[in-house]
């Protein structure tokens, strides 16, 4: 009996050690997968107080939220703006994080000039591909060895699995996808390359994406992973639908990335077109119900949803490489402005005060073996 007495001393000492050291989300997830956040200009340039310490403590990966999209980084022909990108990769290096570049080829946030010649007429296929390749080699080349993975092509499919009829597709057919991956690979052979899209849980859409990805490989073009944007709601999609997507992507031989994770807690008006209408919606308590604060019962639904999602992700941690939140905290989420401008939304796991929402880690930890020190930690330490 006596020989076990030392445990009575060691366990509290270990637990105390844990309480003194702040443990981040990334450490709590252990080696399951990388934990990421999309970051904006204020955060990468140190203008937002507290953002960099929050990022360093909790996140092992970052994604460029807007600053490396075509519009911000290459607004005019021959004009590149790298202020964001340079600060972004410097922050990633300081954090020792896995740095993701988002995104090289997309139909949104891409200026109209990209698709036009000097006379304002649509470019032909060869000229558009050449312009795209030039963009990719310039941006990927600048951050070669500093950006670890690129969302090469974003959102090329409709939900029914048909190709989205974007200017990229209308001018080049499916060639732009092949050329984009080829050029990214050629420019930085070490960087991982992904295709990224939303609603990957819809079977028809997923089938089309996986077919495209397998065809790339059949043509000898590298593609490492599929990013499933996790723009979810409280009740949909179902865990089964998400799980099937994880299984299918893995089965097809690609890394699974859960990108752009957030959970919208606000009601959604059906007809959201028109800026004026949106302003009215935002002013109406019906569509902007939690201006002062989120009711505890709704926050609990949100935390329960996150717990269920992360339990699913942990179950499949052998297939999932990274889980990235779309934003650092509620105050900076795009969902404060979409699909209605000017609302107060609560879709992330960190609130407006940059505090982790309570109950999330405790619920996850309960299901883990050897959780005593962390449970003690949860009791004793104020959450950050």
Under the criterion CB under 6 A, does residue 61 sit at the interface with ligand GLA? no
- The SS3 assignment for 67 reads coil
Binding of ligand GLA at residue 154 (CB under 6 A)? yes
Shortest separation between residue 348's beta carbon and ligand GLA, angstroms? 13
Query: Segment 74-103, which members bind ligand GLA (CB under 6 A)?
Result: 102
- Beta carbons within 10 angstroms of residue 173's beta carbon: 12
**Can residue 336 be called a binding residue for ligand GLA (CB under 6 A)?**
no
- Calculate the CA 201 to chain-centre distance: 16
Nearer to ligand GLA, 259 or 378 (CB): 259
From the CB of 107, what's the least distance to ligand GLA, in Å? 11
233 near ligand GLA (CB under 6 A): no
Residue 362 annotated as catalytic: no
Give min distance, CB of 154 to ligand GLA, in A: 5
- Nearest approach in angstroms of CB 231 to ligand GLA is 6
The distance of closest approach from Cβ of residue 287 to ligand GLA in the complex, given in angstroms and rounded to an integer, is: 19
Q: Give the residue, chosen from 70, 198, 281, 313, that forms a contact with ligand GLA under the rule CB under 6 A.
A: 198
Identified binder of ligand GLA from the candidate list 60, 166, 199, 229, rule CB under 6 A: 229
Q: Does 290 engage in binding with ligand GLA (CB under 6 A)?
A: no
User: Is residue 169 a contact residue for ligand GLA (CB under 6 A)?
Assistant: no
Distance CA 320, CA 312 (A): 10
Angle ∠(149,152,155) on CA atoms, nearest 5:
125
Burial zone of 319 (CB within 10 Å; 0-12 exposed, 13-18 middle, 19+ buried): middle
Distance between CA atoms of residues 200 and 292, nearest Å = 34
260 is an active site residue: yes
- Is 201 a binding residue for ligand GLA by CB under 6 A? The answer is no
- Residues in region 346-375 near ligand GLA by CB under 6 A: none
Angle of CA points 140, 144, 62, to nearest 5°: 80
Q: Kindly tell me which of 69 and 182 has the beta carbon lying closer to ligand GLA.
A: 69
Judged by CB under 6 A, the residue of 113, 163, 290, 334 near ligand GLA is 334
Q: Dihedral sign, CA of 309, 310, 316, 320?
A: positive
**Total of residues contacting ligand GLA (CB under 6 A):** 6
Task: Pull the structure tokens for residue 265.
Answer: 């807690």
Of residues 199 and 321, the one with the C-beta less far from ligand GLA = 199
61 within 8 A of 100, measured Cβ to Cβ: yes
Catalytic residue among 48, 155, 192, 299: 155
Helix (H, G, I), strand (E, B), or coil: what is residue 34? Answer: strand
The string over 292-318, giving b where at least 16 C-beta atoms fall within 10 Å of a residue's C-beta and e elsewhere, is: eebeeebbebbbebbbebbebbbebee
Find the catalytic residue in 65, 133, 192, 260: 260
If the CB atoms of residues 133 and 260 are measured against ligand GLA, the closer one turns out to be 260
Instruction: Rounding to the nearest 10 degrees, give the CA dihedral for residues 117, 120, 125, 129.
Output: 50
Tokens of residue 100, six digits:
């993701």
Q: Which tokens belong to 119? A: 């006379």
- Least separation in angstroms between residue 334's CB and ligand GLA is 4
Cα–Cα distance between 239 and 245 in angstroms, integer?
10
User: Binding marks (x or -) toward ligand GLA, 256..285, rule CB under 6 A?
Assistant: ----x-------------------------
Using DSSP, how many helices (H) and how many strands (E) does the chain show? Answer: 15, 8
Nearest residue to the partner ligand GLA, using Cβ:
334
Residues 102 to 141 in contact with ligand GLA, rule: CB under 6 A: 102
Quote the least distance from Cβ 143 to ligand GLA, whole Å.
17
**199 lies in the binding site for ligand GLA (CB under 6 A):** no
Beta bridge partners of 322: 34, 257
Counting contacts by CB under 6 A, is residue 60 touching ligand GLA? no
Cβ pair 80, 73 in contact under 8 A:
yes
Q: List residues near ligand GLA by CB under 6 A.
A: 102, 154, 198, 229, 260, 334
Residue numbers annotated as active site: 155, 260
């Amino acid at each position: 009996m006596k020989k076990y007495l030392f445990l009575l001393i060691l366990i509290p000492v270990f637990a105390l050690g844990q309480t003194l050291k702040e443990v981040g989300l990334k450490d709590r997830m252990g080696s399951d997968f990388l934990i990421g956040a999309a970051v904006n200009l204020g955060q990468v340039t140190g203008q937002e107080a507290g953002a960099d310490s929050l990022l360093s403590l909790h996140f092992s990966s970052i994604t460029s939220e807007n600053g490396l999209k075509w519009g911000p980084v290459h607004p005019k022909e021959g004009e590149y703006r790298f202020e964001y990108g340079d600060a972004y990769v410097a922050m990633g290096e300081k954090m020792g994080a896995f740095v993701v570049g988002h995104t090289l080829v997309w139909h949104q946030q891409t200026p109209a000039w990209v698709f036009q010649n000097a006379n304002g007429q649509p470019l032909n296929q060869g000229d558009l591909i050449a312009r795209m390749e030039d963009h990719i080699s310039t941006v990927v080349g600048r951050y070669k060895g500093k950006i670890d993975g690129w969302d090469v092509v974003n959102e090329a499919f409709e939900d029914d699995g048909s190709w989205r009829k974007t200017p990229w597709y209308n001018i080049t057919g499916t060639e732009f996808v092949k050329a984009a991956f080829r050029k990214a690979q050629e420019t930085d052979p070490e960087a991982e390359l992904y295709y990224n899209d939303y609603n990957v849980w819809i079977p028809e859409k997923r089938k089309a994406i996986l077919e495209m990805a397998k065809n790339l490989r059949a043509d000898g073009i590298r593609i490492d992973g599929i990013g499933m944007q996790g723009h979810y709601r409280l009740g949909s999609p179902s865990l089964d639908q998400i799980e099937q997507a994880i299984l299918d992507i893995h089965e097809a031989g690609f890394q699974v990335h859960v990108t752009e994770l957030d959970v919208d807690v606000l009601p959604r008006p059906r007809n959201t077109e028109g800026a004026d209408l949106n302003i009215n919606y935002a002013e109406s308590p019906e569509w902007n119900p939690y201006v002062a604060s989120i009711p505890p019962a709704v926050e609990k639904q949100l935390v329960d949803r996150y717990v269920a999602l992360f339990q699913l992700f942990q179950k499949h941690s052998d297939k999932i490489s990274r889980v990235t939140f779309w934003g650092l905290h509620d105050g900076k989420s795009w969902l404060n402005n979409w699909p209605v401008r000017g609302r107060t939304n609560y879709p992330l796991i960190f609130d407006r005060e940059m505090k982790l929402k309570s109950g999330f880690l405790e619920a996850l930890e309960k299901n883990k073996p050897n959780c005593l020190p962390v449970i003690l930690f949860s009791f004793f330490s104020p959450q950050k």
